[in-house]
């Protein structure tokens, strides 16, 4: 049994300017009594017109942004901030983001989320690529950083709450990445938690709506600043193979899994990974934990759906975005052209749907962190990690 509220449905002309429902409103008791879902529209600055949905499960608060492709702006678990301080103060309305600007880096005018998707037709570095034009002729176009999905507003948004255990709280959003004579990929995302839970599940279905074959690149850009990220914080993951992206990452390869304090002038270091997973469930887990090991966030996913993992280390000055990204993806965020050559771009037949999901789980005790470390050690025990000390051709352009 569940209650459902449609907040947006452009097809039917449905729109709720604001919305609030609480567990108490629904007559729920116990931990479910404290839950709440609220929607409001931001005003002023570059936030003008951005819809924000707050999900509060009593312990974990999520701020979901339908206006920015169903990303998660920020979270908070029992007072622990989830997210980071970008020099961009968003969430930024897409009308203030010009993707082709600055050599295809315009996406960076809007980037400040805890979790945003990169894709769907392409993600990764900007560059040129050859596509078919309306005349069926190959034509070279500029592909911009990290694609379009994070700057497209959802045309359908619904909230549902189960009125019996486990009292799942879910926000569903549909986002259409489309154009005439081009890619048409529809994302249907379900973002779900439960009363008192320390996790959020993001379950996505992406459909190629075309009558012809389409491509897909999907990456979950999960970003953390303080307090999880700090001097001595660790990335813990069951590594099958790791390689630095480039010369700059090579410089830091001896310390790839630990982090510096905010370091003004620090240039990003990026490491590419394939991870090990449970042989039966195909689930893997990567964790960022603080120096003391009493705080962390684990991300879990099925490596059959998201076989590549990117670690973005950007321990620059606090003012410039002190942040690390943990990024499960269908590919590595190189240019799409490079990824296609390496066989890492998904092909979707007409009407085909690709599913992917991640769970983000907050760990707020030594025991909880240690438990995930043990789990990762168990996965790692399948084989010794292959740690390249320099870029490798299969992962990076030479």
Site for its own copies, residues 227 to 286, rule: CB under 8 A = 246, 248, 262, 264-265, 267-268
**What's the Cα-to-Cα distance from 90 to each of 105, 150, 189, 239, rounded to whole Å?**
17, 13, 21, 34
Nearest-angstrom CA–CA distance, 147 and 151: 9
Out of 98, 226, 257, 258, name the contact with its own copies by CB under 8 A: 98
| Closer by beta carbon to its own copies, 163 or else 178 | 178
Closest CA to 144 of 108, 93, 180, 112: 108
Quote the least distance from Cβ 325 to its own copies, whole Å: 11
Per-residue x/- marks for its own copies, 350-379, CB under 8 A?
Answer: xx----------------------------
Out of 1, 29, 138, 212, name the contact with its own copies by CB under 8 A: 212
Length of the chain: 398
Q: What is the 3-state secondary structure (H, E, C) of 161-188?
A: EECCCCCCEEEEEEEEEECCCCCEEEEE
Q: How many residues bind its own copies (CB under 8 A)?
A: 73
- The yes or no reply on residue 133 touching its own copies (CB under 8 A) is yes
Write the DSSP string, 95-133.
GG--TTHHHHTGGGGS---SEEEEBSS--SS-EEEEEE-
Nearest-angstrom CA–CA distance, 229 and 322: 8
Quote the least distance from Cβ 272 to its own copies, whole Å: 15
Residue 234 tokens, joined:
């660790």
- The yes or no reply on residue 96 touching its own copies (CB under 8 A) is yes
Strand partners, 156: 9, 174
Residue 171 tokens, joined:
């926000």
Which 293-322 positions form the footprint of its own copies (CB under 8 A)?
A: 316-321
Which 113-132 positions form the footprint of its own copies (CB under 8 A)?
A: none
| Closer by beta carbon to its own copies, 88 or else 291 | 88
- The yes or no reply on residue 54 touching its own copies (CB under 8 A) is no
| Closer by beta carbon to its own copies, 156 or else 220 | 156
Are 336 and 345 in contact by the 8 Å Cβ rule? The answer is yes
* Among the residue ranges 159-167, 173-181, 189-197, 290-298, the one whose residues contact its own copies (CB under 8 A): 173-181
Out of 29, 79, 138, 180, name the contact with its own copies by CB under 8 A: 180
Q: Residue 387, SS3?
A: strand
- The yes or no reply on residue 397 touching its own copies (CB under 8 A) is no
Strand partners, 222: 115, 326
* Among the residue ranges 8-16, 22-30, 354-362, 365-373, the one whose residues contact its own copies (CB under 8 A): 8-16
Write the DSSP string, 11-30.
TTTEE-SSEEEETTTTT--G
| Closer by beta carbon to its own copies, 181 or else 282 | 181
| Closer by beta carbon to its own copies, 134 or else 367 | 134
| Closer by beta carbon to its own copies, 96 or else 203 | 96
- The yes or no reply on residue 179 touching its own copies (CB under 8 A) is yes
Residue 79 tokens, joined:
């007072």
Angle of CA points 288, 387, 260, to nearest 5°: 40
- The yes or no reply on residue 138 touching its own copies (CB under 8 A) is no
* Among the residue ranges 161-169, 210-218, 361-369, 371-379, the one whose residues contact its own copies (CB under 8 A): 210-218
Out of 34, 155, 205, 234, name the contact with its own copies by CB under 8 A: 155
Nearest-angstrom CA–CA distance, 191 and 171: 5
Out of 1, 27, 29, 44, name the contact with its own copies by CB under 8 A: 44
């Amino acid at each position: 049994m569940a209650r459902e509220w449609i907040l947006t449905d452009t097809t039917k002309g449905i729109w709720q300017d604001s919305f609030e429902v609480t567990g108490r409103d629904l007559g729920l008791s116990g931990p479910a009594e404290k839950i709440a879902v609220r929607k409001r529209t931001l005003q002023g600055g570059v936030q003008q017109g951005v819809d924000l949905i707050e999900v509060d499960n009593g312990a974990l608060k999520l701020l979901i942004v339908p206006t920015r492709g169903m990303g998660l702006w920020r979270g908070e678990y029992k007072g622990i901030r989830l997210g980071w301080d970008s020099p961009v103060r968003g969430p930024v309305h897409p009308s203030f983001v010009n993707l082709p600007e600055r050599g295809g880096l315009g996406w960076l005018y809007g980037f400040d989320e805890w979790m945003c998707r990169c894709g769907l037709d392409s993600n990764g570095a900007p560059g040129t690529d050859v596509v078919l034009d309306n005349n069926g002729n190959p034509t070279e176009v500029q592909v911009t950083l990290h694609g379009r999905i994070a700057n497209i507003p959802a045309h359908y948004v619904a909230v549902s709450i189960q009125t019996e255990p486990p009292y799942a709280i879910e926000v569903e959003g549909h986002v259409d990445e489309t154009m005439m004579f081009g890619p048409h990929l529809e994302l249907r995302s379900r973002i779900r938690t439960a009363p008192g839970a320390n996790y959020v599940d993001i379950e996505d279905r992406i459909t190629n709506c075309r009558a012809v074959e389409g491509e897909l690149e999907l990456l979950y850009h999960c970003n953390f600043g303080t307090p999880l990220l700090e001097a001595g914080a660790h990335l813990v993951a069951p590594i099958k193979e790791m390689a630095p992206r480039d010369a700059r990452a090579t410089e830091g390869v001896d310390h790839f899994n630990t982090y510096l304090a905010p370091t003004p002038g620090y240039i990003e270091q990026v490491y590419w990974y394939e991870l090990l997973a449970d042989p039966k469930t195909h689930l893997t887990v990567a964790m960022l934990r603080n120096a003391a090991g009493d705080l962390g966030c684990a991300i879990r996913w099925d490596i059959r759906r998201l076989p590549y993992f990117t670690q973005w280390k950007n321990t620059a000055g606090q003012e410039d975005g002190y942040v690390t990204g943990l990024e499960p993806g269908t590919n590595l965020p190189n240019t799409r052209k490079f990824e296609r050559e390496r066989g890492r771009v998904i092909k979707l037949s007409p009407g085909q749907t690709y599913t992917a999901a991640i769970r983000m789980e907050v760990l707020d005790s030594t025991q909880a962190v240690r438990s995930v470390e043990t789990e990762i050690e168990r996965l790692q025990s399948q084989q010794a990690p292959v740690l390249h000390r320099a870029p490798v051709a299969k992962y990076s352009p030479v």
